[in-house]
């Protein structure tokens, strides 16, 4: 570079955001069978921001997340992630169905994910132990997923994703299948581990409460095709814990989000009724 700028500096000037989504749409299938699932969505997510995505069932949340993850390409529009070029495991995903390898032990699953980072043996062992401990899995390190409860399997999936210390963490209803206590425990873990990192997180949930407890920002999507119809900043400082749900401000934000979401859900139900009667 003649002007002393690195390629990364130039990219940063073009897009100051960690994730930049422009006019993205997604349609599944073609012709009579085409389902316009998403968009258009235009959205910027800053580095280190914890963004929660809520919206009616089937509105395209998973479609958007998969597109950000690069697992599906949008039908139209553009998604840019500003990632350090040398960082090998810069995006990690956690989905509702765990996605861990059944033929590997708990420890083996975490170790496998660390493989791409080319750490020394000692560093890999240390990092694996750290994350197994943080997620309460040390005693189960030699167990196979089939020997674990759903909550534990999901903890393995989270340990595996977090151990790679990804730049961007994408989570699609990771706690949806868990009981209330396990869910709260994992919310605490996530608050703790995301509180003092610059990790950018996009987290899809059906729970408004969960979105407000975890997020710096909550985006509400419309019914299908999902568009962003509300964007609410969550004012609670970090470090934070799940006790924020007891504050009056929490109730106000929840009310505001619910009003917006209820209108969409009612619209969706009305559309479904009209569809059935026509």
Ligand X SMILES: Nc1ncnc2c1ncn2[C@@H]1O[C@H](COP(=O)(O)OP(=O)(O)OP(=O)(O)O)[C@@H](O)[C@H]1O
Can you tell me the distance from the alpha carbon of 258 to that of 9, in angstroms, rounded to the nearest whole number? 41
37 contact, one of ligand X, Mg ion, none, CB 5-8 Å limit per kind? ligand X
Binding part of the chain for Mg ion, among 22-30, 59-67, 86-94, 218-226 by CB under 5 A, reads 59-67
Distance (Å) of CA 170 to CA 89, 121, 180, 195, 211? 13, 27, 22, 16, 14
Residue 63 in the binding site for ligand X (CB under 6 A): yes
User: Between 8 and 71, whose beta carbon lies closer to ligand X?
Assistant: 71
Please identify, using beta-carbon distances, which residue of 128 and 223 lies nearer to ligand X. 223
Residue 60, interface with ligand X (CB under 6 A)?
Answer: yes
Task: Name which of Mg ion, ligand X, none residue 39 binds, using a CB cut-off of 5 to 8 Å depending on partner kind.
Answer: none
180-195 helix and 121-134 helix, angle to the nearest 10 degrees: 130
- 35 in contact with ligand X (CB under 6 A): yes
Query: Count residues contacting Mg ion (CB under 5 A)?
Result: 1
CA distance 97 to 22: 29
- Output the CA angle 253-258-264, nearest 5 degrees: 140
Beta bridge partners of 78: 22
Residue 16: contacted member of ligand X, Mg ion, none (CB under 5 to 8 Å, by partner type): none
Candidates 276, 265, 267; CA nearest to 56 is: 265
Q: Which is nearer to ligand X, 58 or 77 (CB)?
A: 58
Tell me if 28 contacts ligand X by CB under 6 A: yes
Residue 89 or residue 176: which is nearer to ligand X going by CB?
Answer: 176
The contact mask relative to ligand X for 156-195 (x = CB under 6 A, - = no) is ----------------------------------------
Both structure tokens of 178: 């868990």
Q: Is residue 63 close enough to count as binding Mg ion by CB under 5 A?
A: no
Is 93 a residue that touches Mg ion (CB under 5 A)? no
Residue from 5, 6, 10, 29 binding ligand X (CB under 6 A): 29
Q: Compute and round to an integer the Cα radius of gyration of the chain.
A: 20
List the one residue out of 84, 79, 78 whose CA is nearest residue 6.
84
Q: Binding of Mg ion at residue 62 (CB under 5 A)?
A: yes
Pairing between β-strand 76-81 and β-strand 19-28 as defined by DSSP bridges: antiparallel
Interaction between residue 37 and ligand X (CB under 6 A): yes
Stretch that binds ligand X, among 60-68, 114-122, 163-171, 253-261 (CB under 6 A): 60-68
Binding residues for Mg ion, per CB under 5 A? 62
Residues that bind ligand X (CB under 6 A): 28-29, 35, 37, 55, 57-63, 224
């Amino acid at each position: 570079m003649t002007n002393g700028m690195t390629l990364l500096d130039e990219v940063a000037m073009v897009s100051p955001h960690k994730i930049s989504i422009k006019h993205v749409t997604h349609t599944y299938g073609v012709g009579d069978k085409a389902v316009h699932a998403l968009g258009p969505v235009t959205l910027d997510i800053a580095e280190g921001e914890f963004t929660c995505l809520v919206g009616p069932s089937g509105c395209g949340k998973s479609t958007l997340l998969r597109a950000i993850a690069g697992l599906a390409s949008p039908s139209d529009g553009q998604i840019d992630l500003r990632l350090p070029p040398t960082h090998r495991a810069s995006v990690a995903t956690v989905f509702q169905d765990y996605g861990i390898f059944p033929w590997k032990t708990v420890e083996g699953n975490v170790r496998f994910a660390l493989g791409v980072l080319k750490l020394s043996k000692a560093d890999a062992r240390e990092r694996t132990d750290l994350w197994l401990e943080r997620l309460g899995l040390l005693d189960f390190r030699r167990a196979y997923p089939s020997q674990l409860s759903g909550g534990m399997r999901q903890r393995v999936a989270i340990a595996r994703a977090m151990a790679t210390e990804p730049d961007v963490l994408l989570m699609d209803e990771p706690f949806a299948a868990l009981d209330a206590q396990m869910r709260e425990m994992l919310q605490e873990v996530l608050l703790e581990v995301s509180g003092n990192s610059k990790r950018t997180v996009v987290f899809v949930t059906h729970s408004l409460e969960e979105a407000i407890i975890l997020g710096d920002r909550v985006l509400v999507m419309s019914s299908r095709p999902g568009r962003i119809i509300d964007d609410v900043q969550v004012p609670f400082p970090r470090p934070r814990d799940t006790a924020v749900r007891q504050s009056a401000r929490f109730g106000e934000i929840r009310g505001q989000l619910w009003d917006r979401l209820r209108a969409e859900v009612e619209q969706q139900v009305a559309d479904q009724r009209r569809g059935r009667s026509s």
